[in-house]
Amino acid sequence: MSSYPTEQMAVKITVNTTITNDSEKETYELIAFGQYIQKTSSVFLRYDELMEEGTAKTVVKVSEREGSIVRNGAVDMRLPFQMNKTLVGSYKTPYGVLDMETTATRISHEFDYGLKKGLINIFYDLTMLGNHAGTYHLSITFEEDESNEHSGAGKK
């Protein structure tokens, strides 16, 4: 049994979300600063997400065939992913908890130790309240934040 070391690094994170629903396509981008953590056979990105409602602590976890996105704070959400399986997640609103279903068709991650940068891709179909809400492509790039200040000042 091999053991993997736990590695942690301050990173600049760029999250690009593309939502396709019928013929409509929407794209969103978020830039944040946080932590990249590699532990056993999983990788984690941990960062704060600023929203209209306030701040949510977000954790993205990915392994070979599964993953999850968990947000706590201004938004409480849990989206689980497993290749080619439909899983139930949740989104908490002031009016109650909404069940959501995800069906992942692609989960991948790569990391270049020399360049200290990586990429996570998750493709999934999202269903809310029994209705197809769209096909999502979540593309997350991250690279070492050498300043380690999380300010992003003067960094590209």
Domains and CATH numbers, the chain: 7-144 (2.40.128.20)
Q: What is the pLDDT of residue 149?
A: 59
Output the tens digit of pLDDT for each of the chain's 156 residues: 334 556 899 999 999 999 999 889 999 999 999 999 998 889 999 999 988 888 999 999 999 899 999 999 988 999 999 999 999 999 998 788 999 999 999 999 999 989 999 999 999 999 998 899 999 999 999 999 987 655 443 333
Tell how far CA 74 is from the center of its chain. Answer: 17
CB neighbours of 42 closer than 8 A, spacing ≥ 6? 61, 62, 63
Q: What is the pLDDT of residue 2?
A: 39
- Asked whether the whole model's pTM tops 0.85, one would answer yes
Q: What is the pLDDT of residue 138?
A: 97
